[in-house]
Amino acid sequence: MLKGQLSEANASVARAQALKVDRRTAVNDLAAQTHLTSMQETLAGIQSPFDARDPSGVIDEMRSKIRRNTAPQSAVEQADADLAAQLKKSKVDDLLEQYKRSLDQGGIDAPPQPVSFQAPPAAVPQNTPSPGAPVEQDAEQTGPDEAKTLGPAPGPVRPID
């Protein structure tokens, strides 16, 4: 009978040690889960601000402004784009008409002027002087036409002092 109790005690010790290891693993898992939960709560706080000075509120506000600024084109911009497309189409039609006329005449006219298919320049209001008023010329109009580039200067360059 003593041997039976001894073997039962040894089995009980082995089960106790296995339970101890299982509980230690469960405690470690619970600690890790608690840490992950606190991290998730922190991240959730970033997504929704609690007060006006919360940095996540500023981020959300800027995101909404960015979405609002990428709105579709205004009516004026749309009209300008339509006008540019119509101008391009009319230039192509004029060039085609000129070609057809040259074929009908049997001869080839002088080569047409090169046609640029770019949007028209923005209209700049011109001041028209009244008759009898002295005519003033802008410095830009009287000066020689110089090509402006972003390349290196053609002559010697003096270093900046």
Same domain, 81 and 40: no
Question: Is residue 122 assigned to a domain?
Answer: no
Give residues with Cβ within 8 angstroms of 87, minimum separation 6.
Answer: 119, 120
Q: Is residue 101 part of a domain?
A: yes
Return the pLDDT at 35.
92
| Residue 134 in domain | no
- 15 within some domain: yes
| Separation of first and last alpha carbons in the chain | 108
DSSP states along 42-56: HHHHHHS-SSTT-HH
Q: Is the dihedral of CA 135, 141, 143, 144 positive or negative?
A: negative
Whether 43 and 84 share a structural domain: no
Report the length, in residues, of the chain: 161
For the chain, which ranges sit under pLDDT 70? 45-56, 68-73, 107-149, 151, 153, 161
Domain presence at residue 9: yes
Say if 65 falls within a structural domain. no
- Asked if residue 69 belongs to a domain, the reply is no
- 3-class DSSP string for 97-154: HHHHHHHHHCCCCCCCCCCCCCCCCCCCCCCCCCCCCCCCCCHHHHCCCCCCCCCCCC
Q: Which domain holds residue 84?
A: 76-105
Domain boundary among 88, 105, 122: 105
pLDDT in tens, 40-68: 888 876 666 566 666 667 777 888 888 76
- Is 83 a member of any domain? yes
Q: How many CB atoms lie within 10 A of CB 69?
A: 7
CA dist., res. 97 & res. 115, Å (int): 14
- The pTM score is 0.28
The number of domains in the chain is: 2
Neighbours of 155 (CB within 10 A): 6
